[in-house]
């Protein structure tokens, strides 16, 4: 579940809870049985998603057992909020985490988002109620550190970022906090980043918390924008679009500077890991580097209107592909018998990184490298599926390159994803894209397309 990271949240906190709490024990067993259900299916019958297990008799015992154990876990989870012990908050957070992972594993993404949101909301309420307590150095829900393990806080910070990205792509609205009409200054979001990190865990925690805080900062402006648009706040000089664009242009250098500061503190760990390829430090440092590269590229693209602006980041795309390929190849060389099996993880962003290159890079060679990697190494990462991403990016590439003989794809041929609605159990996805109208500065939304794989 933790992917390439050695996280106490999984290796200690959840396992300890499974010894003490029945709900955690049944949920962990359910996740293990579900994983065995997939592992028991030999190639080439590997299902593209866990939902397809229902039509495969080879693994029926594992699948049925997983669902039985999960049902028992849900029954016991209903009693957790009634627990009057000091650990009830921690147990509720763990129950939200386990249900989020199980629902995502079987493809029930709406249920997974709801459970993750419940955990994030609870952490928020604890933070507000205990706001007078000391900070953890990164200024994010630190007040609850005595009630909730820092690793759990970090996991839900990452989940919030994953949910936000998923919702923006699927145009699903979820708000975990009330409107803030006075967003904090950006500089406060990235305060206390050290000059150097001593461990990958420290670097990851700092990155996760900073990203989550920036997402909340950004959302506070959009919520403020909606209030002005709804007439809740009166200001004759207010122009919603210009306001948001001005905010993005003004704050981008601050965020970019903070990312640079984080990377400088992380660089010694990254350089040291290059000398020990195949080790846990190599894998986790490589994935952190990928998250950094992908995030700063997405951040830079967020203020661009033209899809041709994506071409400026070719060097970043190549580095992302090189890093992802090194991680995937090293992983499968380390575990050669697992090469043909699908992998499920939550604390990883390889699919996000590869999909970014597949959708935004128009260099034909680099783009095809990204698609080939997604197809060669089937994996699921939370709400993301490699085979679905490969199908979508292949479809985009074919539509954009159709009728174009030169290496350069003109602006009017470039597509931008507006929203996606996937059905992994049916191996199909509905996608809506937009493109610039020829000779105009407006984008037109194209009819929905169904992609199957």
Check: CB of residue 344 under 8 Å from CB of residue 105: yes
**Res 207: pLDDT:** 86
d(CA 155, CA 67): 25
Pairing label, strands 449-452, 379-381:
unpaired
**Res 160: pLDDT:** 82
**Res 12: pLDDT:** 79
How many whole angstroms from its chain centre is CA 53? 25
Q: Which two tokens stand for residue 364?
A: 């034909």
d(CA 81, CA 353): 38
What is the chain's pLDDT, residue by residue, as a tens digit (453 residues)?
A: 556 666 666 777 888 888 889 999 999 999 888 877 766 654 444 444 444 544 444 446 788 889 899 999 999 999 888 877 778 888 999 999 999 989 888 777 788 888 988 888 888 777 655 544 444 433 444 434 456 677 788 888 888 877 777 776 665 555 544 433 344 445 555 666 888 999 988 898 888 877 777 777 666 655 554 544 444 444 434 444 555 566 666 677 777 788 889 999 999 999 999 888 778 888 889 989 998 999 889 888 877 888 999 999 999 999 999 999 988 888 777 655 554 455 656 656 788 899 999 999 999 999 999 999 999 988 877 667 888 899 999 999 999 999 999 999 999 999 999 888 877 767 889 999 999 887 777 889 999 999 998
Is residue 47 exposed (0-12), middle (13-18) or buried (19+ Cβ within 10 Å)?
buried
DSSP for 110-146, written as a single string? HHHHHHHHHHHHHHHHHHHHTTTSPP-SS-SSGGGTT
Check: CB of residue 197 under 8 Å from CB of residue 265: yes
Helices of type H across 130-199: 150-170, 186-189
Helices of type H across 302-403: 314-334, 350-360, 364-376, 386-401
Question: HSE-up of 287 (CA within 13 Å, CB side)?
Answer: 26
**Res 410: pLDDT:** 93
Give bridge partners of residue 385 from the DSSP assignment. 380
- Beta carbons within 10 angstroms of residue 265's beta carbon: 18
- Beta carbons within 10 angstroms of residue 164's beta carbon: 18
Whose CA is closest to 45, among 33, 55, 32? 55
Q: Residues 398, 399, 403, CA angle at the centre, nearest 5°?
A: 90
Q: 315: Cβ–Cβ under 8 A, 6 or more apart, which residues?
A: none
**Res 196: pLDDT:** 92
Specify the DSSP class assigned to residue 436: E
Q: 121: Cβ–Cβ under 8 A, 6 or more apart, which residues?
A: 176, 177
SS3 232: coil
Q: Which two tokens stand for residue 445?
A: 């939304």
**Res 382: pLDDT:** 67
**Res 54: pLDDT:** 47
Reading phi first (left if > 0) and then psi (alpha if -120 to 50, else beta), residue 417 is in: beta
**Res 144: pLDDT:** 43
Residue that the structure tokens 């669902």 belong to: 67
- Residue 158, CA distances (Å) to 96, 193, 197, 304 in order: 14, 18, 19, 25
Pairing label, strands 343-345, 379-381:
parallel
**Strands of 379-381's sheet, edge to edge?**
343-345, 379-381, 384-385
Give bridge partners of residue 443 from the DSSP assignment. 436
d(CA 383, CA 432): 19
Backbone angles phi, psi at 390, to 5 degrees: -65, -40
């Amino acid at each position: 579940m933790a992917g390439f990271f050695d996280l106490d949240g999984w290796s200690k906190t959840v396992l300890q809870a499974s010894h003490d709490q029945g709900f955690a024990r049944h949920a962990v067993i359910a996740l293990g049985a579900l994983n065995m259900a997939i592992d028991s299916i030999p190639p080439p019958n590997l299902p593209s998603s866990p939902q397809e297990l229902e039509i495969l008799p080879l693994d029926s015992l594992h699948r049925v057992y997983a669902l039985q154990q999960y049902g028992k876990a849900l029954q016991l989870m209903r009693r957790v909020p009634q627990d009057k012990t000091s650990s009830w908050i921690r147990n509720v957070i763990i129950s939200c985490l386990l249900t989020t992972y199980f629902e995502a594993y079987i493809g029930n993404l709406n249920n997974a988002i709801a459970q993750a949101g419940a955990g994030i909301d609870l952490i928020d309420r604890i933070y507000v109620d205990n706001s007078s307590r000391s900070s953890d150095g990164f200024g994010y829900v630190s007040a609850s550190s005595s009630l909730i393990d820092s690793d759990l806080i970090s996991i839900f910070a990452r989940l919030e970022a994953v949910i936000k990205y998923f919702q923006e792509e699927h145009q699903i609205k979820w708000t975990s906090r009330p409107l803030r009409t006075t967003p904090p200054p950006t500089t406060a979001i990235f305060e206390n980043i050290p000059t150097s990190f001593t461990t990958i865990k420290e670097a990851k925690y700092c990155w996760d918390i900073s990203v989550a805080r920036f997402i909340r900062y950004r959302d506070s402006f959009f919520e403020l924008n909606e209030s002005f648009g709804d007439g809740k706040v009166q200001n004759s000089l207010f122009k919603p679009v210009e306001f948001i664009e001005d905010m993005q242009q003004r704050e981008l250098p601050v965020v970019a500077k903070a990312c640079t500061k984080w990377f400088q503190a992380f660089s010694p760990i990254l350089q040291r890991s290059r000398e020990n390829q195949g080790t846990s430090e190599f894998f986790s440092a490589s994935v952190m580097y990928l998250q950094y590269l992908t995030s700063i590229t997405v951040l830079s693209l967020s203020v661009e209107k033209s899809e041709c602006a994506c071409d400026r980041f070719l060097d970043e795309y190549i580095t992302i592909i090189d890093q992802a390929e090194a991680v995937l190849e090293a992983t499968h060389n380390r575990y050669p018998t697992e090469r043909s099996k699908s992998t499920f993880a939550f604390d990883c962003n390889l699919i996000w990184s590869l999909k970014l290159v597949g959708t935004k890079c128009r260099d034909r060679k680099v783009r095809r490298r990204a698609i080939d990697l997604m197809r060669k190494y089937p994996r699921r990462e939370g709400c993301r599926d490699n085979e679905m991403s490969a199908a979508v990016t292949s479809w985009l590439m074919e539509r954009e390159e159709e009728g174009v003989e030169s290496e350069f794809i003109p602006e009017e041929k470039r597509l931008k994803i507006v929203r996606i609605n996937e059905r992994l159990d049916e191996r199909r996805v509905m996608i809506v894209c937009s493109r610039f109208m020829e000779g105009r500065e407006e984008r037109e939304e194209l009819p929905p397309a169904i992609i199957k794989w």
